[in-house]
Structure 1
């Protein structure tokens, strides 16, 4: 792959998204320009209603932009596909299948024509081990914890070997300790796979801990990219050590300043 494609692995050019409503056109996103390098971890952060998930859906190909275009690895995004795998806040596992079979289902859809059943099973087992679930692979979803369900969702996405991993607040419904453990696991997995990722979050600390860059969205409607913070913290990152890091606190303050001083709380403004 050319250096150009590595530096502009995911390219979002002049994207606008308008929805038809009973009250007329609603412009959710306007003039979105963003370039993501291969191997980068990008987070999208902003107040509710600023279009973070809308932008993620556009990258996933679940919706098409009203204007502009999105390009992944040199190809224009024209719909959903295995090159972009999504991990949602709701794990979306099939309850009648084991954790292993939930992952295998995704693997089979992507690689069935090129690999034997044994190879598909080995691929599934490998990614289950990567997320630390070898011991629970034969359990049903209702037999494992919420955090383990999310690991299965991450495993299913990674097993498809996507060019870009998309995460829509995957830890939002979890307790603080489980969330912290999965954040650490995600950092380890992303380092091992050298994956490119775009993640939606409302959590400032999560954004600073995980990101190479934090993309901060302005309030909607017609939300835009307001500012981008480059997080130059060494990897691997240790959350305990970072708690006393002046640099970490500066990044955190910069994001909070944008969200609450420059943007304010849209709910309070509406009231």
Structure 2
């Protein structure tokens, strides 16, 4: 039986002024339905490039990507994307930012009352009902990210793709949203692929951690199974031997066997 998402021999080469630049090579990855997978590695290792391939925002130079038994040939509503920058339209309210996505996906089959109900339900899911009529400049960074997540979830995507969604937030806000994300995924049963730089975030959230080698020509170095039951409590996990071992495995890969060496001008 095939996996829900399959990446088969994918590679990406960009044409630059200095010639071809191979960002990714030989990417083979299978993701099961309902699985939470994080992509981690040093800057420039192609994490976001791989995520963009799955999103259909970027076409592979070689290989093929499949989602739900269909080849990925471009963006689609079955794959919702949450970027590090919330990307909300500043002139629209929180409600209207989410409604815009809902209308795009469901307007052909549902009337306005149903579309509005979907929008309200998505905002309630991320705890943002109180900010329905506020515009992005009137709410905090963490709240903007909640609305961005609501917008993606409102389309009822089969896959939720997240590119460092909490990277720009302070530690307390980030921790709160991580916990909320775990609850949301438990309710929606979404398949999630998330890019992160944060080892603790990867271990807390993931079923599997995909560790990338350094670029250029980056590929998948190792995949670590995080054998921790759900729901997960960050306080209880701090001294859990499985959590500690998973964290050590990722740190060992990133900072011992694949330490990032900066080029220093002579």
TM-score tier, shorter chain, comes to over 0.9
Residues 1:236 and 2:231 aligned together: yes
Deviations 1:65-89 (Å, cap 9, x if unpaired)?
A: 0000000001000011111111000
Moved over 6 A (4+): none
- Matching of residues 110-259 of structure 1 within 5 Å: 110-259=105-254
Q: Distance in 1 between matches of 2:220 and 2:115?
A: 40
Q: Give the distance between the partners of 1:34 and 1:85, measured in 2 at CA.
A: 19
| Aligned mates of 1:83, 1:130 — CA distance in 2 | 19
Displacement of 1:269 in angstroms is: 7.9
Match of 2:91 in 1: 96
Listed one character per residue, the Cα deviations across residues 81-135 of structure 1 (whole Å, up to 9, x for unaligned) are 1111110000010111110110000000000000010000001111111101111
C-alpha contact (below 8 Å) 1:39/1:194 kept by paired residues:
yes
1:64 matched to which residue of 2? 59
Residue correspondences, number: 266
1:23 aligns with 2:40: no
Change (3 A) 1:245 1:123: same
Secondary structure of the residue that 1:58 maps to in structure 2? helix
Deviation at 1:246, TM superposition (A): 1.6
Matched, 1:34 2:22: no
CA contact (8 A) 1:219 1:266 kept: no
String of CA shifts for 1:199-224, please: whole Å, max 9, x gaps: 00000000000000000000011101
* Cα distance in 1 for residues equivalent to 2:118 and 2:31: 28
Aligned counterparts of 2:245 and 2:58: Cα–Cα separation in 1: 36
The 1:247–1:150 alpha-carbon spacing in structure 2 relative to 1, beyond 3 Å, is same
CA distance in 1, matches of 2:242, 2:58: 38
Find the aligned partners of 1:45 and 1:268 in 2 and give their Cα distance: 21
Aligned to 2:255: 260
CA RMSD, Structure 1 to Structure 2 (Å): 1.1
